[in-house]
Amino acid sequence: MGQNEITPHLFRTEYSKIVAVLCRKFHLKHMEIAEDIASETFLKASEIWAVKGIPDNPTAWLYTVAKNKTKDYFKHISVFETQIKEAIKSDEMEAEQAFEFSNENISDSQLAMIFAVCNPINPIGAQICLALQILCGFSVEEIANAFLAKPETIKKRLQRARTNLRNDNFQIRSLNETEIKSRLDTVLKTLYLLFNEGYFSKSNNQLIRKDLCLEAIRLTLVLTENLSTNTPKTNALLALMYFQSSRLEARTNDKGEAVLFDEQDKSLWDKRLIERGNYYLTNACKGFADWTKYHLEASIAYWHTTAMDQNKWPYILQLYNQLILIEYSPVTALNRTFAFAKVYGHKEAIAEAEKLHLDENSHYHGLLGYLYTNTNRDKAIYHYKQAIRLTKSKTEKQTLTREIERLNK
């Protein structure tokens, strides 16, 4: 992996960790200081690595530089001495002591950070945007795609949310049970969106962003290891992530093109991850009567990984029927229609799909193209072309183009 590949990868995986750890030093009110130090660290890496090459352990190199830059800040920036240090007890912050980028410190800092930014002072949508940017390293464009909103709208929402946190003088600290319960739903939704951005990214040419999926799983695992956050809903979300991740290798071919579910090589499905999904789904259902969105989606994902063929689709359709009542979304409606086609046939599913009237949705046209494939070649091609026009994903365009070429033959 060359520098052009490794630096963006490390930025995605390590930038948010550095910010989280430093924010425990500077406290949330001074979040921008931590972000500046992290940015300077990566700037220095890009300059030095271009000349001397990538070090043997680039992650450790980044942590060392970030630590040294923090020490320099403590020593030389007078703003710290006059505005910050007096407000923080000396036994809580010593630049030269207990300041390590250990796995435990990183994990604790990120968990504390995500609960800190999920502050009720901000609307739920703003909390999620802020957490995606700070903890997960999302760009404004990626957040906009996740919310199907304009980048300028997201930028303004983030600015307001940051201002609210500063004005509230909120600090990263241990939370009580009431605070954890009030914010856990937002935290879970943030991790859910993080995983989805990794599983299928609209804003990047890569269809699958494995690093984001793994990061979402890692953070959700941290929640299951804490008694206060190890809830049935948390376990259901983790089960969903494991089931979906088990099919990552089969979702693209050697050319990086998407492989439709019906054409996936099941031997590439990761049985170990499926077993982990089964374990956490079982935990999620213990003594729990009311199924949540995550329970239903995890159960749907479970049925997708089973060896049964047609016999599983009535179960999947029933689960989608329940899910759409809990939380309607265009994606859920389209996925339900795909399951409907498996149970009742393509002709009936076309009528079902057209009721949705999602004419500006690329997946809507992609689904109709698939449904028309065996009955009306011209209509199938028309809808695939519409999907190509509407999608932002280069990989998805390639996949749809491949389907058109197949129909033309």
Domain hosting residue 364, numbered range: 308-409
Burial class for 5, CB neighbours closer than 10 Å (0-12, 13-18, 19+): exposed
Classify the phi-psi angles of 98: left when phi > 0, otherwise alpha if psi is within -120 to 50, otherwise beta: left
Question: In the chain, how many domains are there?
Answer: 2
Least confident of 26-40, 182-196, 278-292: 26-40
- The residues facing 252 across adjacent strands are 258
| pTM, rounded to two decimals | 0.79
Domain boundary at 90, 125, 153, which? 90
Residue 121 in domain? no
Residue 353 binned pLDDT confidence (cut-offs 50, 70, 90) = very high
First to last CA, the chain: 38
* Nearest CA-CA partner of 117 in 177, 178, 188, 165: 165
Residue that is written with structure tokens 């029933």 in the block: 318
Q: Are 387 and 373 in contact (CB under 8 A)?
A: no
Instruction: List pLDDT tens digits, range 302-312.
Output: 999 987 676 89
Q: Are 197 and 137 in contact (CB under 8 A)?
A: no
**What angle (nearest 5°) sits at the alpha carbon of residue 195, between those of residues 6 and 113?**
80
Domain boundary at 90, 111, 132, which? 90
CA dist 141 and 363 (Å) reads: 20
Instruction: List pLDDT tens digits, range 172-197.
Output: 666 678 878 888 998 999 899 888 87
Residue that is written with structure tokens 């795609």 in the block: 145
* Nearest CA-CA partner of 30 in 17, 15, 40, 19: 19
In sequence order, what are the residues at sequence separation of 6 or more whose Cβ sits closer than 8 angstroms to the Cβ of residue 8? none
Q: Which amino acid is at 318?
A: Q
Tokens of 335: 């996925």
- The residues facing 258 across adjacent strands are 252
* Nearest CA-CA partner of 22 in 106, 81, 125: 106
Least confident of 246-255, 338-347, 399-408: 246-255
Residue 262 in domain? no
pLDDT averaged over every residue in the chain: 84
Q: Are 115 and 130 in contact (CB under 8 A)?
A: no
Residue 185 in domain? no
Q: Which amino acid is at 273?
A: L
Domain boundary at 24, 58, 90, which? 90
Residue 138 in domain? no
Residue 292 in domain? no
Tokens of 108: 């604790």
Polymer length in residues for the chain: 409
